[in-house]
Amino acid sequence: MTPMTPNGATPVGAALAEEAAFEKPVSRGEPILEVRDLVKHFPLTRGVVFKKQVGAVKAVDGVSFDLMQGETLGIVGESGCGKSTLAKVLMNLEPATAGSVRYKGEEISHLTGSALKAVRRNIQMVFQDPYTSLNPRMTVGDIIGEPYEIHPEVAPKGDRRKAVQDLLDVVGLNPEYINRYPHQFSGGQRQRIGIARGLALKPEIIICDEPVSALDVSVQAQVINLLEKLQNEFNLSYMFIAHDLSIVRHISDRVGVMYLGRIVEIGTDEEIYEHPTHPYTQALLSAVPVPDPVARESRDRIVLVGDVPSPANPPSGCRFRTRCWKAQEKCAQEVPALTVREWLEGPAAHDSACHFAAERENGQ
């Protein structure tokens, strides 16, 4: 397989990705989730009884991407960039303000009732905080078995206990723990329980919202490995949201970078990490601390000035322009489209929302 960019361009020189393809022989490349111009605004209101809208927090403001069958799409960005809201809107936990989400070609963003329930079987979520995402009053068996109670057609009543124990086994927990309560487990084990719950309905897509950021370093790797194994085993498509760039690179086939509610750059992991063309991606990558003291003298770090503007009142034109060293008049007037710039070649030719997209000259 070759990971594809939304417009169908094939990336060049993705040697590592090809190697990974050996392990993932499933028919891929078909988009399973198509997101177009997705918008989520949270109204800002004033008044208690007679509410008056005075503005809106533009948490997600025109996001488009495709999630391919069997791939992992990483979404990175700093806090407040809208990546978690994006996950909630895709899960139909928050209604979209505008835009479309198509699952296997079918519009799902405005579904309700039983149609929505049917879609939920196929799109599941793993939450960030394993300490708050499990109901403390329910046993592990009840938590993982609940999906079957809500969707009885998935597992007949008599088989449920067995199904739950199988799931525990799949995620690496002792099936005998079925009667224990969440507080008797450590963070990593709880996250496994959360993953088992997400798997129960045999979904095709799992949205992982910072699934390891609350875990200890030594446990993070265990959970990442588990997620990768499950992906191979069950042919899952992942949307992997995180702020840890090295983990995202490890697990993702493609990566999208978000800033203030928009995707500023998207491409294969190779394209984004080795040949970033958007200034924000470049700054973000240069700031990641590298666990190698030898490199610390030679690093060429871009230090961004100022703070992220408020999503209630984002800058005109390019949203990054207030902190960008390349910013010019054009950036304030024209919103840069997320496309391939014609002057770029090779791996640098991928979608980037910058009028002056270019690779960094010194170093990478």
Partner 1 sequence: MPEHDLPDDHDPLRHIQPTDSDHLDYVGQQGLAVEQDTLIEPDVIKREEARSLWGHAWRDLRRRPIFIVSTLLIILLLLMAIWPGLFTDANPRQADLAHDFLRKPDYTDFFGAGWFGYDGQGRSVYARVIYGARASITVGICVTLAVVIVGGLAGMVAGYFGGWSDAVISRIIDIFFGIPLLLGALVLLNAFSVRTVWSVVVALAFLGWTQLARVMRGSVLTIKQSDYVVAGRALGAGTGRLMFRHILPNAVAPVIVVATISLGGYITAEATLSFLGIGLQDPTISWGVDISSAQKFIRTAPFVLFFPAAALSLTVLAFIMMGDAVRDALDPKLR
Partner 2 sequence: MTTQVGSTMPVHEEPYSGPLLDVRDLHVEFKTRDGVARAVNGVNYSVSAGETLAVLGESGSGKSVTAQAIMGILDMPPARIPQGEILFRGKDMLTMGREERRQIRGQRIAMIFQDALSSLNPVLTVGYQLGEMYRAHHGTDRKEAKAKAIELMERVRIPAAAERVGDYPHQFSGGMRQRIMIAMALALEPDLIIADEPTTALDVTVQAQVMDLLAELQSEYHMGLILITHDLGVVADVADKIAVMYAGRIVETAPVHDLYAAPAHPYTRGLLDSIPRLDQKGQELYAIKGLPPNLMRIPPGCAFNPRCPRAQEICRREVPRLFEVTGDNDSPVPGRGSACFFWKETLHDADDA
- Binding residues for partner 1, rule: CB under 8 A, are 48-49, 91, 93, 116-117, 120-121, 124-125, 127-129, 132-139, 146-147, 149-151, 166, 169-174, 179-181, 183-184, 186, 189, 194, 197, 201, 222, 226, 229, 233
262-268 and 254-259 strand pairing: antiparallel
Does residue 58 contact residue 312 with C-beta atoms inside 8 Å?
Answer: yes
Phi and psi, residue 140, nearest 5° = -55, -40
* Residue 169 binding partner per list partner 1, partner 2, none, with a CB distance cut-off of 5 to 8 Å that depends on partner kind: partner 1
Element (H, E) at 102: strand 98-103
Cα distances from 93 to residues 47, 114, 209, 331, in angstroms, run 26, 15, 13, 34
Q: Which of residues 112, 218, 298, 362 is near partner 2 by CB under 8 A?
A: 218
Is residue 35 at the binding interface for partner 2, with CB under 8 A as the rule?
no
Is residue 288 at the binding interface for partner 2, with CB under 8 A as the rule?
yes
Is residue 161 at the binding interface for partner 2, with CB under 8 A as the rule?
no
Would you say 64 or 322 has its CB closer to partner 2? 322
As a whole number of angstroms, the distance between CA 305 and CA 288 comes to 16
Residue with tokens 């690093």: 299
* Residue 137 binding partner per list partner 1, partner 2, none, with a CB distance cut-off of 5 to 8 Å that depends on partner kind: partner 1
Q: Measured from the CB of residue 246, what is the shortest distance to partner 2 in angstroms?
A: 5
* Residue 216 binding partner per list partner 1, partner 2, none, with a CB distance cut-off of 5 to 8 Å that depends on partner kind: partner 2
Is residue 189 at the binding interface for partner 2, with CB under 8 A as the rule?
yes
Q: Measured from the CB of residue 356, what is the shortest distance to partner 1 in angstroms?
A: 40
* Residue 246 binding partner per list partner 1, partner 2, none, with a CB distance cut-off of 5 to 8 Å that depends on partner kind: partner 2
Q: Measured from the CB of residue 193, what is the shortest distance to partner 2 in angstroms?
A: 14
Q: Measured from the CB of residue 87, what is the shortest distance to partner 2 in angstroms?
A: 18
Please give the structure tokens belonging to residue 260. Answer: 């203030």
Query: Which value, to the nearest 10 degrees, does the dihedral of the CA atoms of residues 353, 243, 236, 163 take?
Result: -150
Would you say 117 or 301 has its CB closer to partner 1? 117
Task: Tell me how long the chain is.
Answer: 364
Q: Which of residues 49, 291, 298, 362 is near partner 2 by CB under 8 A?
A: 291
Candidate ranges 11-19, 112-120, 140-148, 201-209; the one touching partner 2 (CB under 8 A): 11-19
Cα angle for residues 12, 284, 349 (degrees, 5° grid): 25
Q: Which of residues 33, 205, 247, 340 is near partner 2 by CB under 8 A?
A: 247
Residue with tokens 């408020």: 310
Q: Measured from the CB of residue 354, what is the shortest distance to partner 1 in angstroms?
A: 35
β-bridge partners, 206: 124, 238
Does residue 134 contact residue 180 with C-beta atoms inside 8 Å?
Answer: no
Would you say 6 or 141 has its CB closer to partner 1? 141
Q: Report H helices in the chain.
A: 15-23, 83-90, 113-120, 140-150, 160-170, 187-199, 217-234, 245-251, 269-274, 279-287, 329-333
Is residue 290 at the binding interface for partner 2, with CB under 8 A as the rule?
yes
Element (H, E) at 107: strand 106-107
As a whole number of angstroms, the distance between CA 63 and CA 97 comes to 12
Residues at the contact surface with partner 2, assessed by CB under 8 A: 16-17, 19-20, 23, 78-79, 186, 188-189, 216-222, 224-225, 228-229, 243, 245-247, 249-251, 269, 283-284, 287-296, 301, 303-304, 306-308
